[in-house]
Amino acid sequence: MAAAKKVKVGVVVNGSKPGARDVLNQLIEFSQGHANLQLLFEKRTGALIRRPGLSELDLAKKSDLLLVAGGDGSLLDVVESVFPSPTPILGVNIGSLGFLTAVAETEVATILPYLAKNNLRLSPRLALETHFHHSNGRNHLIPCALNDVVISRANVGRLVRIRVEVGDYLVTEYVCDGLIIATPTGSTAYSLAAGGPIISPDAESIILTPICPHTLTNRALVVGAEETLRGSTRSCRTPKFAP
């Protein structure tokens, strides 16, 4: 009978969370009884249990799956650090917010047998690549935004006028405090708080949600993920009143 294929799980735990050591202890105890499950640790995670560790990027390269225990912020940080690695990520919530995580802290013991067999369902997610072109000629690239990208006003006392093009066509011009460009994953984050819709996380779409639009008609827009979005901004003039 052939030996079971070894499954390498990279572990990243936010050590500042109260349940961090409990999750680590469960993983280590379970792995000791399953020879086909090999745990690898991120540097700071390894330091918690006095074991050697790797950078997050190297961890992703050497693992079949990454297990990230923390909150939404921890998961987003890891996604940004390991991009463009295709290694799947399993989020375990031991933080205050866990919209992005698939497993609660109390469910860790339940998912461990599936983890050892690498028998987990994958949910591909859309990420945004963003190019900023500044007026001074400088360009800036954000290669991976899993939740959203926000264009906001630089001057608190002024509204901003944002011209939005989808593909080769002008769609609208918002007069607002800012604009949220969100992925389906990010539809439950800032976009939702600003009045945007909730989109199925595996949908191929992008949400444009204005922040406090200065109109009664502008609402959130949903466009296809294959489209290229272009936006340009300029400040609205502050009105002057006679004394």
Counting beta carbons within 10 angstroms of the beta carbon of residue 110, is it exposed (0 to 12), middle (13 to 18) or buried (19 or more)?
A: exposed
Q: Which residue type, as a one-letter code, is found at position 120?
A: L
In this structure, are strands 37-41 and 7-13 parallel, antiparallel, or unpaired? parallel
**Alpha-carbon gap, residue 179 to 181, rounded angstroms:** 7
Counting beta carbons within 10 angstroms of the beta carbon of residue 96, is it exposed (0 to 12), middle (13 to 18) or buried (19 or more)?
A: exposed
Tokens coding 56: 């997050």
On whether the CB atoms of residues 127 and 206 are closer than 8 A, the answer is no
Active site residue 72: yes
Name every residue whose Cβ is closer than 8 Å to that of residue 207 and which is 6 or more positions away in sequence. 180, 181, 182, 183, 184, 186, 187, 191, 196, 197, 199, 220, 221, 222
Q: What is the DSSP letter of 214?
A: S
Active site residue: 22, 72, 177, 202, which one?
72
DSSP sequence for 104-137:
EGGGHHHHHHHHHTT---------EEEEEE-TTS
Tokens coding 126: 């859309």
**Alpha-carbon gap, residue 211 to 197, rounded angstroms:** 13
Catalytic residue numbers, as ranges: 72
